[in-house]
Amino acid sequence: MRARSYDFAPYAGLAASPDFRQRSLRGNAVLRWEYRPGSTLFLVWSQARQDSGADPELRPWRNLRRTFTDQGANTVMAKLSYWANL
């Protein structure tokens, strides 16, 4: 609150997780296939998992296991390019 003092203002954004614990896991996989010289097909899969658990105890291995069981969002994309030799 003041320079060179230890007076602090409370942070208002602590409603979800007052201890700042956030779990997040993001992964991507890309498959690239060149079916003709210069022509490619890309398949992309992306997954994002996150949770802000308010566990008062520090249990790193338990939280690591829970990272893989959190609710996730999957995204699949495809891109096709064709080389036209004119």
Binning pLDDT at 50, 70 and 90, where does residue 57 land? low
**Residue 1 contacts residue 9 (beta carbons within 8 Å):** yes
**Residue 71 contacts residue 79 (beta carbons within 8 Å):** no
For residue 29, which phi and psi values (nearest 5 degrees)?
A: -135, 135
The residue with greater pLDDT, 80 or 71, is 80
Q: Per the confidence metrics, is the pTM higher than 0.85?
A: no
pLDDT digits (tens, 9 = 90+) for 1-32: 778 888 877 766 656 555 666 778 899 999 99
